[in-house]
A and B are shown apart, each in its own frame.
Chain A
Amino acid sequence: MAHGKFTKGIVKRPSWHISDNEVTPQAVFSSRRKIIKTLGLGSIAASLPGYVQAGIFDLFGEDKPDFVTSKLTFTANQAFQASDEKTPYSKVIRHNNFYEFGTGKQDPYVNAQQFKVNPWQLNITGMVDKPVQLDYDALFSQLPLEQRTYRFRCVEAWSMVIPWVGFPLASLLKLAGVQSSAKYVAFETLFDPEQMPGQRNRLMGGGIHYPYVEGLRLDEAMNELAFVAVGLYDQTLSPQSGAPVRIVLPWKYGFKSIKSIVNIRLLDKQPPTSWNQLAAHEYGFYANVNPQVDHPRWSQASERLIGAGGLLSAQRIDTQMFNGYGEQVADLYRGMDLRKFY
């Protein structure tokens, strides 16, 4: 892995640190990508996956190198360390839902490597005392970086355990000074069809209305669990994981944890959210992990935990209310009918 410029401060190596030899080297990934493309073109069975369309021209030219991440300096926050075994880095970055880069689980890994994250601008506007703009470097230097290991539960009933690097969402919002009239926070992903093939091609983008938008009630956003991630394991995010900056909400289904954000707006009304717009009866505004409320097409009572082992060593575990984070967030929803506000 290339080591970049984020090496100021003291490099602490916590006990959970994953050494480089446990992480698949960049060169191996590059060659894998090449094989995917080559084989993808010749495959006649599954109908055209996104990466075939995207890779068809690359095949005849030089294979472009993978996205280069940089090492980050941070401290581990011991209050937020899930005890479960972590999902290996190589699986976390090769199993993603990021429809901007295709709907297949490995499409984002295959299609997002040339994504440009620098320059970047994250704007915090709306009902704030002073609007804030963070450029790429400020994302890593404005607030102290900490590491948290969260369980991550997808609405599709699979889950991972992921060490993120970033800062609390509340700290970020406080930079702008939230006004008392604000009741909601709206988030927006970058809209750049040139770079995001799913945004220019309906077949690849899965019919979502772009840009992808998400939202939270202000008290949810201010909860200590709500996290802004700029890193994964010990380095900056890969594009498929939402580089350079994303939200992580471990008590909600994964689609709430919006990626590659450019806008945060403080509002007094509930903002629209992408999956809710697409299928309101399947995806609510809250989308809290709840084993008692099934998705219309599958059970949410259990989940397939994607761990370190091979295909057949996976386990199916019971899903916990609020993904096991009830202690921190249950109070937010006291008195609410969570069957109605799913």
Chain B
Amino acid sequence: MMRISYRTAAIIRLLVHVSACLPLIWLFLAVNSGQAGGDPVQYIIHFLGKGALNLLVLTLLITPIARGWKQGQLMQLRRPLGLWSFAYACCHLAAFISLDLLFAWQLVGEEIVKRPYLLVGATVWLILLALAVTSFKAAQRRMGKRWQQLHNLVYLAIVLGGIHYYWSVKSEIIEPSIYLGIILLLLLFRAKIYKHKWRHFFVWR
């Protein structure tokens, strides 16, 4: 296969931004026109949470795709996808606090501490926050080796994200189970790639 040109990569990047935007526009229209149900609060929260998880899965899919097709240019897509995932996670959290708990801040605090699935969700958000604020080239340069160590937390984030979803549903566990399966596959792929590196990591330290 031919290598993707710089121009094509730029177009793909633009497409990523547009496609990540579209569901938000759809959500806005659906809620405003009443298509999201008589009381769309749960719909909005789930839609945004699932959006964040979908984008995180896509982010981690880039590496296997880029390797499989030998298209290193694609690796650049991880940053916009990851940032979009963080944006969705922010909206998800904001919707929970504003629309469901209606800014009852004490309740927000109590719930996050008391409910394991919320604590897990909050942890994911904090990880994504840390990754987002250090996603710039300058931060990468300044942090050196520690940048990669920090950004390896994305694996923890996606696992916890899947658990958060699984834990949050009342009984509809099939869908979150599928997500957990996909996440596991993504991690297994990494385990294969990094097997060699892991060994180095442990032996040489």
Interface residues of chain A, those whose CB is within 8 Å of chain B, are 32, 35-36, 39, 43-47, 90-95, 99, 103-106, 109, 156, 158, 202-203, 206-208, 278-279, 294, 296-299, 301-302, 304, 306, 311-312, 314-316
Contact = CB atoms under 8 A, between A and B. Distances in A.
Contacts of B26: 39, 43, 45
A93 B174 CA distance: 27
A94 B47 CA distance: 18
A277 to B, nearest CB: 11
A258 B54 CA distance: 35
Nearest to B98: A312
Nearest to A96: B38
B31 A311 contact: yes
Nearest to A314: B102
Most buried by A among B50, B101, B110: B101
A106 B37 contact: yes
Interface string B39-50: 111110011001
A256 B99 CA distance: 26
Contact of A106 (B36, B111, B170, B172): B36
A46 B37 CA distance: 15
A298 B37 CA distance: 22
B99 A39 contact: no
Contact of B174 (A104, A202, A208, A279): A202
Contacts of B33: 32, 35
Specify which of B34, B107, B115, B168 lies most central, judged by the most chain A CB atoms within 10 Å of its CB.
Answer: B34
A36 B171 contact: no
B100 A95 contact: no
Interface residues of B, number: 43
Given A39-B35, A105-B37, A304 B23 contact: no
The prevalent SS among residues of B at the interface is: helix
Interface string B91-131: 00000001111101001001100110100000000000000
A279 B171 contact: yes
Q: Which 3 A-B pairs have the closest CB atoms?
A: A94-B38, A45-B23, A106-B37
A91 B167 CA distance: 28
Contact of B172 (A39, A103, A314): A103
Interface of B: 19, 22-23, 26-27, 30-31, 33-43, 46-47, 50-51, 54, 98-102, 104, 107, 110-111, 114-115, 117, 167-168, 170-175
Given A206-B171, A297-B115, A36 B35 contact: yes
Given A203-B174, A311-B40, 8 more contacts: A45-B26, A46-B47, A94-B39, A95-B38, A304-B41, A306-B38, A306-B39, A314-B41
A95 B167 CA distance: 23
B23 A43 contact: yes
Nearest to A315: B102
Contact of A46 (B19, B50, B115, B174): B50
A86 to B, nearest CB: 14
Contact of B99 (A91, A99, A314): A314
A92 B47 CA distance: 22
Nearest to B39: A95
Contacts of A105: 37-40, 42-43
A298 B34 contact: no
